[in-house]
């Protein structure tokens, strides 16, 4: 469960959320119906960015009844990334943040920290960013048949100024360890390697077996949450989940509750201290909450992800050998799963959501598996993405408890609490 991308629109100070092109809203958001949204990744009218597998998907794709305002309707002075939903817009800011290692106030005027309307003011770096986006789109169009081969990260590599001179220190120094998230299949897979189905079957067995998993149809959990949006202070949290794919998380920070809900089709985030108190999720954000709900009841993973692949080269996560497979979520997000080679348990999930400029990785690390009604469940998980990091520690999980269906519906407007 990811909290932060929407809430952090107004949390410039104390976070690393980039708002390179975030332009402040000066009026209430005009809701854009799903039929009015533009294609995903559209930066100029009629231009579409490829989703995983070379396919395209509609911007704003969501469950029935979900509506998402477009960035150009919700924010003021957006000139390039107008026709994408607000949640994808914020994800795009995270992509630029990761590519250049900047935060909000590196690109916006300092007064933006205390006055949201100041985000609308242009700065030299914002003007340059617009030019760079148009330039990269043109290069991809003219040299790669419109496929998104070049992105901000291609040249910047987490630096403001792209390097043009080779580094002897890098050439002759000790290279950093490879990022396991970057591992890809090179050449034909080893025919002796286990298939994705075999690795998933071993995972189900390691959790307790299909019969035990089928015996848990719901659970309610309590624990603590810490993240960028709480300055890493720990606050009470609750999780409600119901098979096969419903899940809601409620966090209780001092300023008012934050709720992420998924009813099996549509998803929402509701929080205080934001210009969009209730956000209907779309695209990669919707895929994310759908996957969180699905992985709460792992027996359905095999059937609910598609285009499974195995045969990745050997790699390690935290010095542990892992087996890697990948599949694709319902909305098109690519998902890599890392299973501990010794235990067969899932220790990392990485999903790649499409934004207007490139694919954003979201990493979830699972640990502290404990027995709940004969099924092993992770009691600790850490989620990291381009504009935030959050950590959950569960203290109590009650299986097979009745849960009111209202828990999974669209949340009520959050009430601001003065701490």
The Cα 20–Cα 162 span in angstroms is 17
The Cα 4–Cα 7 span in angstroms is 5
Predicted confidence at residue 273, as pLDDT, reads 64
Which homologous superfamily is 189-408 in? Lipoprotein localisation LolA/LolB/LppX (2.50.20.10)
Domains of the chain, residue spans? 7-156, 189-408
Residue 268 has pLDDT above 60, yes or no: yes
**pTM score, whole prediction:** 0.84
Higher pLDDT pick, 81 / 53: 81
Report residue 417's pLDDT band, with 50, 70 and 90 as the boundaries: low
The Cα 63–Cα 60 span in angstroms is 10
HSE of 19, CA atoms in CB hemisphere, 13 A:
32
Residues 6+ apart with CB under 8 A from 19: 9, 12, 93, 104, 107, 108, 112, 119
Predicted confidence at residue 419, as pLDDT, reads 54
The Cα 71–Cα 85 span in angstroms is 6
Which phi-psi region, left, alpha or beta, contains residue 332 (left: φ > 0; alpha: ψ -120 to 50)? left
Q: What is the pLDDT of residues 36-66, one digit of tens each?
A: 233 333 333 333 333 333 333 333 344 444 5
Q: What percent of the chain has pLDDT over 70?
A: 83
Do 410 and 259 meet the contact criterion of CB atoms below 8 Å apart?
no
- Calculate mean pLDDT across residues 382-389: 91
Round the average pLDDT of the chain to a whole number and report it.
Answer: 84
The Cα 317–Cα 180 span in angstroms is 7
- Nearest Cα residue to 249 out of 227, 277, 268, 233: 268
Report residue 190's pLDDT band, with 50, 70 and 90 as the boundaries: confident
- Nearest Cα residue to 108 out of 229, 20, 230, 199: 20
- Calculate mean pLDDT across residues 236-248: 97
- Calculate mean pLDDT across residues 248-274: 91
Query: Strand pairing of 346-354 and 258-262?
Result: unpaired
Q: What is the pLDDT of residues 320-374, one digit of tens each?
A: 999 999 999 999 999 999 999 999 999 999 999 999 999 999 999 999 999 999 9
Tell me how crowded residue 353 is: count the other CB atoms within 10 A of its CB.
Answer: 29
Q: How far is CA 20 from CA 4, 76, 131, 152, in A?
A: 17, 13, 13, 12
Report residue 104's pLDDT band, with 50, 70 and 90 as the boundaries: confident
Predicted confidence at residue 376, as pLDDT, reads 98
Residue 253 has pLDDT above 60, yes or no: yes
Q: What is the pLDDT of residues 22-36, one digit of tens each?
A: 323 333 333 332 322
The Cα 20–Cα 123 span in angstroms is 10
- Calculate mean pLDDT across residues 1-19: 37
């Amino acid at each position: 469960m990811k909290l932060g991308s929407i809430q952090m629109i107004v949390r410039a100070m104390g976070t690393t959320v980039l708002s390179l092109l975030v332009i402040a809203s000066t009026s209430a958001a005009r809701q854009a119906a799903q039929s009015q949204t533009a294609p995903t990744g559209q930066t100029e009218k009629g231009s579409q960015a490829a989703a995983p597998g070379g396919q395209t998907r509609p911007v704003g794709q969501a469950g029935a009844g979900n509506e998402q305002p477009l960035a150009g309707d919700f924010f003021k002075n957006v000139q390039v990334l107008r026709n994408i939903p607000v949640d994808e817009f914020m994800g795009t800011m995270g992509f630029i943040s990761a590519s250049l290692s900047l935060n909000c106030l590196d690109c916006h005027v300092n007064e933006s920290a205390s006055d949201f309307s100041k985000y609308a003011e242009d700065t030299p770096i914002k003007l340059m960013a617009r030019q760079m986006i148009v330039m990269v789109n043109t290069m991809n169009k003219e040299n790669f048949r419109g496929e998104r081969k070049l992105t901000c990260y291609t040249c910047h590599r987490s630096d403001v100024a792209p390097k043009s001179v080779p580094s002897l220190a890098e050439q002759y120094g000790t290279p950093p360890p490879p990022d396991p998230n970057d591992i890809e299949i090179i050449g034909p897979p080893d025919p002796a390697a286990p298939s994705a189905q075999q690795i998933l079957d071993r995972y189900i067995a390691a959790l307790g077996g299909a019969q035990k998993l089928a015996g848990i149809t719901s659970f309610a959990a309590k624990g603590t949450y810490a993240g960028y949006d709480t300055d890493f202070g720990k606050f009470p949290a609750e999780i409600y989940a119901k098979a096969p794919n419903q899940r809601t998380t409620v966090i209780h920070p001092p300023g008012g509750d934050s709720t992420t809900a998924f009813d099996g089709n549509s998803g929402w985030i509701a929080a205080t201290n934001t210009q969009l108190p209730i956000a209907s999720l779309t695209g990669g954000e919707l895929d994310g909450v759908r996957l969180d709900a699905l992985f709460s009841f792992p027996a359905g993973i095999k059937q609910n992800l598609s285009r499974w692949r195995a045969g990745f080269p050997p790699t390690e996560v935290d010095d542990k050998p892992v087996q890697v497979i990948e599949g694709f979520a319902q909305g098109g997000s690519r998902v890599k799963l890392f299973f501990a080679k010794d235990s067969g348990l899932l220790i990392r999930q990485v999903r790649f959501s499409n934004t207007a400029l490139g694919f954003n990785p979201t990493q979830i690390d699972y640990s502290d598996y404990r027995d709940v009604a004969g099924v092993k469940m992770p009691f600790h998980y850490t989620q990291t993405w381009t504009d935030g990091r959050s950590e959950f520690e569960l203290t109590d999980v009650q299986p097979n408890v009745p849960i009111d269906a209202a828990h999974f519906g669209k949340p009520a407007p959050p009430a601001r609490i003065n701490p």
